[in-house]
Amino acid sequence: MRYTVSFVVTVFLIAGCSKSSETDYVRSGRVQVVFSHEVDQKLLLPDTLLYSTGTKHLYKVADLQYFVSDFILWQKGGKPVQIMAGLGIHYVDMRVPETLSWAPADGITPGACDSVSFTFGISAAKNISNRFPNPPERDMAWPDILGGGYHYMKMNLEYTSHAASGLKPFMFHLGIGQLYSAAMPNPDSITGYVQNDFRVTIPTMFTVVSGKICTIECAMQIDRWFDGPATFDFDDYPGGIMQYQEGMHKACLNGRKAFIITVRK
């Protein structure tokens, strides 16, 4: 059985809207995206030392915040329909229910679609320091000396290390990477930056219908960040992957396979 928690926002028409806006709504559809977080396709239980990686580390997840952006519905024939509301950027926090649903006001041309794609994080063109003046988005800021802009993701964990007893904290933070002239990641030796945002494309067949809301469920599979094309071991990166481009690159390779998209019938 598949367990998915969805937080749904219903879109209401404003009572005083004009006849033209009512006509536009009837002629177009709407999309709503709901977000959930799973391990092995079962609902994540936060703060629970229940999960293990392929490298035999037990772990638990304390916090999970991230950005998704530039959602595109691909209609049959290859026509892209991009969601533009709110700069096309949405913030998700697993502990804040209102962030787990995104109901942009964009009208969608009715028709059959065969895939969904989005950017995990924020693309370089939009990832600009001080873009968000208010929390919670403001609190995702990535240090300017490390490339600026915003974290793509903050996932804070605790895990069992092979090198020491007890639980150790780990900051699985993804953002702009750095290239260093020195062996150790010292900000004074930065020689360049790496944009680590990446596109996720998932085939799925559905139809946008005039006057109706199409609900797309986006389930992050947390285990796949650690067990995918790239072998990931917490012990390889002291305390976290921030400033370790190798670790962030592995996260990007695995993250492309870390989502399941379903569409409610």
Q: Which of 44, 157, 32 is nearest to 100 (CA)?
A: 32
For residue 104, the model assigns a pLDDT of: 85
Q: Is the pLDDT of residue 4 over 50?
A: no
pLDDT band at 84 (very low <50, low <70, confident <90, very high): confident
Chain segment 7-48, per-residue pLDDT in tens = 333 332 223 232 333 444 457 899 999 999 999 999 999 999
**Which structure tokens are listed for 163?**
């090198």
Can you read off the two tokens belonging to residue 226?
A: 């650690």
At 178-228, the pLDDT tens digits run: 999 988 888 889 999 999 999 999 999 999 999 999 999 999 999 999 999
Domains of the chain, by residue range, sit at: 19-263
CB atoms within 10 A of CB 64: 20
User: Concatenated DSSP letters for 146-165?
Assistant: GT-SB-SEEEEEEEE-SSSS
Cα torsion angle, 118, 148, 183, 155, sign: negative
For the stretch 136-150, pLDDT in tens is 999 999 999 999 999
Note the pLDDT of residue 24.
47
Q: Partners of 214 in the beta sheet? A: 31
pLDDT above 50: residue 116? yes
The CA distances from residue 71 to 109, 165, 237, in Å, are 15, 43, 32
pLDDT for residue 241 is more than 70: yes
Interatomic CA distance for residues 243 and 187, integer angstroms: 9
Predicted TM-score of the model (pTM): 0.88
Report the pLDDT value the prediction gives residue 85, as an integer from 0 to 100.
79
Asked if the peptide bond before residue 136 counts as cis, ω within 30 degrees of 0, the response is: yes
SS3 24: helix
Write out the H or E segment, with its range, that includes residue 138: none
CA angle 51, 52, 58 (to 5 degrees): 85
